[in-house]
Amino acid sequence: MNDICYVAGGQGVKRFKTGSHRFLFFQSSLILFLSALLPFNFNPLLAYSLKNCTVDYSNNVTWVGCMDRGLAAVPDDIPKSAVSLNLNSNCIAKINTTDLSGLSKLRYLQMENNWISQIDDGAFSDLEFELLELDLGANYLQNLTDHMFQGLWALITLSVEKNNITYISPLAFKSLISLRTLVLRYNRLHQMADIAPILQLPNISELILDFNDFVSFQSDDLPLTFNKSNLKTLWMIGNQLTKFSIKRNAFPNLQTIHLTAATGFEWHVPDPMFLRSLTFLELYVFNVSREMYRAMLKSAESVQELSLSFMETERNKDLVDIACQVPALKSLHLSGDVFVSINETFLQSCSRVIWLDLSYNYLEELCEFSLGSMKQLRRLDLQKNSLPRVPLGVRGVLTLEILDLSLNVISELGCSDFLNLTRLVNLNLNGNRISTVKGCVFQGLNDLKVLNIGENEVHVLFDFFKVNLQKLEVLDLNRNKLQQLKTGDFRDLTSLRSLNLESNAFYVAHEGAFEGLDNLQTLSVTPFCYEMSYMSRIFTGMEHLQNLQLHLTSSFESTSSHESNETHFHVVQLPFLKSFVIQNNDWRYEISPDFLRGLKSLEYFAADRFFTASPHPDTFTYTPHLTSLQITQSDVQVFNPQVFQPILNLQALNLSRNKLRSLDFLSQVNLSLLSWLTLRENQLTVIDETVFQSLPALTYLDLFGNPFTCNCSNAGFIQWVKNNNQTQVVNAYQYTCSFPLAEQGNKLLDIDIQSCWMDISFLCFISSTCVVVLTLLASFIYHFLRWQLAYAYHLFWAFLYDSRKRKAGAHPRYDAFISYNVDDEAWVYQEMLPALEGEQGWRLCLHHRDFQPGKPIVDNITDAIYGSRKTICVISQRYLQSEWCSREIQLASFRLFDEQKDVLVLLFLEEIPAHQLSPYYRVRKLVKRRTYLSWPQAGQHTGVFWQNVGRALETGDAPTETVNLLGYTTIIYN
């Protein structure tokens, strides 16, 4: 993410971007950087993913970075254990009272490059006892109010540079009793009253006021109540100062002054005792008179280090002479001027100077005797000039120990260039145009320990190390144009500990090129070899080597250990090698499985563009102590899990810029100590979160730059990232979608995964199952229980009807309701009606005669049964098959069984066997329990039959129980 904030303010538009300003807190930034490089000792309880920040936890310190995220406010998910919080380069406009609440352990807070124009009173109240450094640079603060920094008792360093500050309240820094360094450069302060309260702080040590609007710095402008200040360093470069005056002992501890002296500048310090502690004075000199310059240095007699920049050419000699008359002067810096040459008299008066800095000028010549008077000179800086050769003036400085000639245009070194420099310890020739070096160049430099000839054009070493350089410890020949390293080139450098031969082009390294380097600990080399086994012989004799970097720029064909007795590296025992880095620019290497043999102490291995496929399972068998492994830009698509079996102590693994599509290999190996895993820019689309269950110590995971699929296939991973409280997935909330196309560009963690837990196929399965079960159940019920359901339905309605009738208390209209089938209607009219209605006078209810037209049949049947004292069922084969007859007998039996009323009279027209009554459960039950009448058995005695029917109609409603036998012709009552 590279958000840029544009803010209208001041005199135009202010544009902030990451990296545009230097951080004040170098120490804090360095610790953050180192913690990123050393991914160990993490506390799993304090490492987790934040929406807009990353967390680094090392040495029991929590570092939170939220730089360049386009944040409009302080994030609300900052861990309460945070010790350092970096919010640089965002769009925060205001610090509210609650923004930093709860961060009581915070020591370092950086909010540079934001839009901050307002800070609430008490915004830092929760940080009062721990905060040490606060950076508010490059914002839009205009006034520093009374309570803005209230409670910051422990604050040591405060930066409010690059704001628009015009006013500072006298009480603004009252709470900052521990403040030592205050940075106010690039603001609009213009009067001493603004800084007087600052100068009175008890522990103030350094005040940086560069590039403000001050026109004077005078002790007379301080209030009468002003006592003494503990200030040690004062910066006022870039101000248009016309006067610097200290007339009283207000700054007894002032040691360093940096200021710009412009035209008409006045310096007034009547008593040198007022600046008795001054040891360093830096002056940017513009048109200052000789007299005023002399007065300045006369009142600064204790100055030991003097820097003069932008001096006028015609007066350089006079100013240098005056400077060198300061009795305590030891270091003279004349950088940033316009010197082209130095003659014999220019530095004649500087005999006491130990360090002379002439860097960043236009020097082309340093005359032979120009430094002749400087008998105590130990260090000479001549970098970044235009010197075509080593100056003649250097030869006669017998006391010189450090010589810097870097970044010039020197093309050749002569045998007498460093003549008589027998005390030289450090020689820097980096960044010149040197192509050849003769063997006699360094003759006599017996004490030389550091030699840098990097970034030149050296192509051949003509035995120039075969001189007495036995004390040389560091040799840098990187980025030259070496063509070959011959046997014995470095043989005499017996004390050499570090050798850098890195190059952009390969060179031939002959066998034994590094022999004699018994004490070498660090080597960086770019050799050309036809066989890997041949390369192994190059490193013969370097048993104390601890760090090795190979830069491979040409292909070779390796020889497998199974085909040759000469194997890779194990022939050369490097028992103390701890770090091994291979960088390759070619893809045609064939790697033997035993090329790491003999490196038993190896702890760190990095291979960039070296492997073309997964390493052989035996590759790391010989490195059991390996704790950090890096295999990057190697186009590996899948790793064999057995590769990691021998290195179970692995703590950091970087497999970035490969072509991995799956992480399943991690779940098949026991990397229980792995805490740092980087998998940037692979081809991972779907992440199986269960893989990380096999990495119990994992606290740092970086998957940035992978083409994620944003659908339910990653739902488990998304939920794991959000919910796990151990592993920090770095920048997880910035992971973008690549698939499907409709989601391309969206954020992975913004995908709604709630719907993913509703399995549509499972819901369809459940629904279809329910439909099938309901269909089968309905079919079963219809086939086996339809009559029972119909009966229950009618019972329910009969119950309701009976309840209404019971409440109404109506007298029955009929003596009997005749239930019969239409096929038996002739018998009813010819036999029953004449006997019961004609002869006996009973009132009978017949459906064809007495049912109310237009009324539902069920209602007519119900009214007829409940409107009659008895129900006579004329039962025949056809009756049993009739649906309506069945309903009539069911309703009648309801009154018999459920209401316990004797209202049912059964009359059989035909002989019906008992087994034929089985399907009609209700009828069969009635036949077994009740006395019934049989017309066929009446025979010729029909009169008796009808008398029995009449007797049945005369009985009341009281229930009776008899033994019912088929064939009885009389009704038996208890």
pLDDT of residue 14: 39
Does the pLDDT value for residue 922 go beyond 60? no
pLDDT at 313 over 80: no
- Print the SS3 string covering 535-591: HHHHCCCCCCCCEEEEEECCCCCCCCCCCCCCCCCCCCCCCCCCEEEEEECCCCCCC
**Rounded to an integer, what distance in angstroms lies between the CA atom of residue 280 and that of residue 305?**
5
578-602 residue pLDDT tens: 999 998 876 566 788 888 888 999 9
Residue range 1-188 forms a domain whose CATH class is alpha beta
**pLDDT digits 0-9 by tens, 268-291:** 999 999 999 999 999 987 777 888
**917-925 average pLDDT score:** 54
Report residue 351 as tokens. Answer: 């005999």
- Torsion over CA of 27, 30, 34 and 35, rounded to 10 degrees? 70
Q: DSSP readout, 743-788?
A: GTTSBGGGS--GGGGS-HHHHHHHHHHHHHHHHHHHHHHHHHHHHH
pLDDT above 70 covers a percentage of the chain that reads 86
Domain limits, the chain: 1-188, 482-558+567-650, 809-954
- Digit-coded pLDDT (tens) for 430-447: 999 999 888 788 988 999
Residue 21 has a pLDDT of 38
Say which DSSP state 824 is in: G
pLDDT of residue 570: 44
Q: Specify whether the CB–CB gap between 927 and 966 falls below 8 A.
A: yes
Neighbours of 865 (CB within 10 A): 27
Q: Do 1-188 and 809-954 share a fold? A: no
pLDDT more than 90, % of the chain: 53
Q: Which of 703-717, 767-781, 783-797 has the lowest mean pLDDT?
A: 783-797
Task: Round to whole Å and give the CA distance between 710 and 739.
Answer: 6
Rounded Cα distance between 376 and 15, Å, is 50
Look at the pTM and tell me if it is higher than 0.75.
no
How many whole angstroms separate alpha carbon 468 and alpha carbon 448? 10
The highest-level CATH class for domain 809-954 is alpha beta
- Per-residue pLDDT of 446-488, as tens digits, reads 999 999 999 999 988 877 777 788 999 999 999 999 988 888 8
What's phi and psi for 913, nearest 5 deg?
Answer: -60, 155
Q: Is the pLDDT of residue 115 over 80?
A: yes
| Higher pLDDT pick, 494 / 10 | 494
Q: What per-residue confidence (pLDDT) applies to 973? A: 29
- The token pair that represents 55 in the structure block: 């967390």
CB 339 within 8 A of CB 360: no
Mean pLDDT score, 643-665 = 96
When pLDDT is averaged across residues 353-360 and rounded to a whole number, the result is 96
Please state which architecture CATH assigns to domain 482-558+567-650.
Alpha-Beta Horseshoe (3.80)
